[in-house]
Chain A
């Protein structure tokens, strides 16, 4: 059914995005990149994929400028696709950007709290999370003004409403604010893909549900692991878990009670994938959990985080096996982000002369 009318509005977009996907770097490209001796060599290797964007870089650019330029390409392509999108796909793509907006707003909140000139911060915002009214937020000089303008001016208003008051912005750690917003965002996105008449019951809902459920679980697990040893109480922690996902509700409940790595492992045991991740990470990390591996050098075992990324990439790759779905846009953005991370990582390894860990990138093609 969805195949009948999908192409009327979205066929072009799908074609473009599939074309972009084919432009992603492959395993062979990565192998070539890891052989590079200097950043200039790397730049040369990236020539076919990123030529125009890297052209303006000086010889031997810094890794951060390399990352910035590669991100520019993603942003340019995303904007092109967004400009051509109509109807519910346009809305879907807007949802995609909300995640970045949350980071940007969190940045502005931090800036306002510390009485910084927030205009300077606009440069630091992620371009995908840019929204037209963002400069308006910079007018706010105190947190209450900011809160009110956030509520009025940003698409994030519903995520603030009901869960955060302006006092919260002042008192709560910015990370809690960020994660509360993110939880609300994920839940809203999940609700959107499953209830929008254009998407409900289509492959989009199916694929996106899988992706978002995974994202929700990942956040829940990460928050739990990272909250050990901080002042975040279990009750507060529980509030940050999204109310869907494969772990929800039993696993989430167990997560909220977990005290250590072992507790988390027990909580996620119900889900096969996570169980195997934890087993692998558990072996690598020893008693202290996966986060405490000494120094980061020479840890051959992949971290939990790495495995989550790997899993995300696989899900994203699988999304392209489906047709007539918006999910490929999401998957493409995620794959592309991973590609940028990979390039940055490889560049960093070359720049810091740490070749032994250069193969830690994640490539799925």
Chain B
């Protein structure tokens, strides 16, 4: 299932979020830009103008293409926009974590993992 090599190199976090969440998390020091020429960032700022395809592409890049990311943080209201994609994501690595944002308080009902928890306990 998960071999050693699958996660030992995963040392970064990635974030998809609104401006404030990303800023805060970058302040914490998670921001990483890989060496040029391809200079990939491990964060994506989503605002009203960002379309769902961009979010989905970033999500796919962080979860499947990049092998150095261990945790993907995503704002819950943004996860809602690509809910089908988040809900069908079941791999253990990288972990996808839905976090609240400043303007959208956390709603445990929507969380894909929490819903699984609930289903398992038959609530």
Q: Verify that A and B bind, or say they do not.
A: yes
Chain A residue numbers with a CB within 8 Å of B20 are 64
B69 to chain A, nearest CB (A): 22
Chain B residue numbers with a CB within 8 Å of A149 are none
Interface size on A, residues (CB 8 A): 5
Classify chain B's interface size: under 10
Chain A residue numbers with a CB within 8 Å of B115 are none
A-B contact count (CB 8 A): 9
Chain B residue numbers with a CB within 8 Å of A63 are 102-103
Report A329-365 CB contacts with B as 1/0, cut-off 8 Å: 0000000000000000000000110000000000000
Chain B residue numbers with a CB within 8 Å of A62 are 102-103
Instruction: Please give me the residue from chain A that is nearest to B33 by CB atom.
Output: A114
Chain B residue numbers with a CB within 8 Å of A64 are 20, 103
A62 to B103, CA, bound (A): 6
A17 to B102, CA, bound (A): 35
Which B residues from 1 to 58 make CB contacts under 8 A with A?
A: 20
A288 to B1, CA, bound (A): 49
A352 to B102, CA, bound (A): 7
A313 to B20, CA, bound (A): 28
Instruction: Please give me the residue from chain A that is nearest to B19 by CB atom.
Output: A64
A73 to B95, CA, bound (A): 45
Which B residues from 94 to 123 make CB contacts under 8 A with A?
A: 102-103
A62 to B20, CA, bound (A): 12
9 of the cross-chain contacts (CB-CB < 8 Å) are A62-B102, A62-B103, A63-B102, A63-B103, A64-B20, A64-B103, A351-B102, A351-B103, A352-B102
Known: A62-B103, A64-B20, A352-B102. 6 other contacts (CB 8 A): A62-B102, A63-B102, A63-B103, A64-B103, A351-B102, A351-B103
